[in-house]
Amino acid sequence: MRHAELGIESIKVVPAAPVPMMTLMGYSVADWASAATLLYVVMLACHYIYKNFIKPSGKEE
């Protein structure tokens, strides 16, 4: 591998290298991503329940 190619490949890896070590308020990035995903799923479920059961949008016969 030439010197230029080694430099380019190392630049590609640098942004991803510190991600496993990053923490926010004591929780890792993976924990925050899991919490955000859970919150998103709960919001989708609430929206579905509201849209289809609490406030049905159809003409009653």
Q: Tell me if the pTM is above 0.95.
A: no
49, part of any domain: yes
46, part of any domain: yes
Instruction: Determine the pLDDT at residue 35.
Output: 95
11, part of any domain: no
Of the candidates 15, 14, 13, 33, the residue with the CA atom closest to the CA atom of residue 23: 33
Contact 46, 53 (CB under 8 A): no
Task: Return mean pLDDT, the chain.
Answer: 81
27, part of any domain: yes
38, part of any domain: yes
Domain containing 43 equals: 23-61
Instruction: Determine the pLDDT at residue 24.
Output: 76
43, part of any domain: yes
Tell me which residues of the chain have a pLDDT lower than 70.
Answer: 1, 3, 13-20, 57-61
Domains: count for the chain: 1
32, part of any domain: yes
1, part of any domain: no
Instruction: Determine the pLDDT at residue 17.
Output: 62
Render pLDDT for 26-41 as a digit per residue (tens, 0 to 9). 888 889 999 999 999 9
